Amino acid sequence: MAQAISSQASDNPARGRGPPSEGMAPKKNREAVQAEVTLGPQLREGEVVFGVAHIYASFNDTFVHVTDLSGRETIIRVTGGMKVKADRDESSPYAAMLAAQDVAARCKELGIGALHIKLRATGGTKTRTPGPGAQSALRALARSGMKIGRIEDVTPIPTDCTRRAHGRRGRRL
């Protein structure tokens, strides 16, 4: 019995299992199927696909957020803070311009050629004036070749709400 084990071990370097190709089925040659992956909606020649660009411009940051027409599916969202290093520059027109250029490039990749604009300031009990990045973000979208559809102001305006900050006599400097 010792001879049988030693002869089996000497014949086979894989510890008694036999050569690796013995127990397996022959490998099948798989053909590489190359399918073209197209992003975005399927469209005919000359057809323009619209998206909605939600531009939220506060005095601390500028968001450029593109969705489909229903507003449910986010296509891309870039902020001014993602484009600059310093905190004080997040709401600057330059940061908003860089964010809008990134958004426009991604929209073109996905086949979106036109945008409706929804512009929003902070609103509520705070300021209803858009921040400094709003205009430059809109201009950058237009300059990068995106067609602009409707421009709408969607700043939230209270109908009746809690008392505004700083009391009856206002903020005293």
pLDDT digits (tens, 9 = 90+) for 13-67: 556 566 666 666 777 777 766 776 666 667 677 788 999 999 999 999 999 999 9
Q: What is the pLDDT of residue 46?
A: 76
Phi, psi of 50 (to 5 degrees): -95, 145
Phi, psi of 153 (to 5 degrees): -95, 120
**Structure tokens that stand for 145 in this block:** 């070749």
Dist. CA 146–CA 10, nearest whole Å: 74
Q: What is the pLDDT of residue 19?
A: 64
Closest of 172, 82, 173, 93 to residue 140, by C-alpha? 93
Closest of 132, 111, 129, 142 to residue 48, by C-alpha? 111
H/E element, 137: helix 133-143
Beta bridge partners of 152: 118
Q: Which position has the token pair 């975005």?
A: 40
Question: Would residue 110 count as lying in a domain?
Answer: yes
Range of the domain at 85: 78-153
**In the chain, count of helices (H) and strands (E)?**
3, 5
Dist. CA 82–CA 44, nearest whole Å: 35
pLDDT class for 135, splitting at 50, 70, 90? Answer: very high
Question: Would residue 100 count as lying in a domain?
Answer: yes
How many separate domains does the chain show? 1
Q: In this model, does residue 6 exceed pLDDT 60?
A: no
Closest of 156, 124, 158, 118 to residue 138, by C-alpha? 118
168 vs 30 pLDDT, higher one: 168
Which CATH number goes with the domain that contains 138?
A: 3.30.420.80
H/E element, 77: strand 74-79
Question: Would residue 116 count as lying in a domain?
Answer: yes
- Region 119-137: what's the mean pLDDT? 95
Distance of CA 138 to the CA centre of its chain: 18
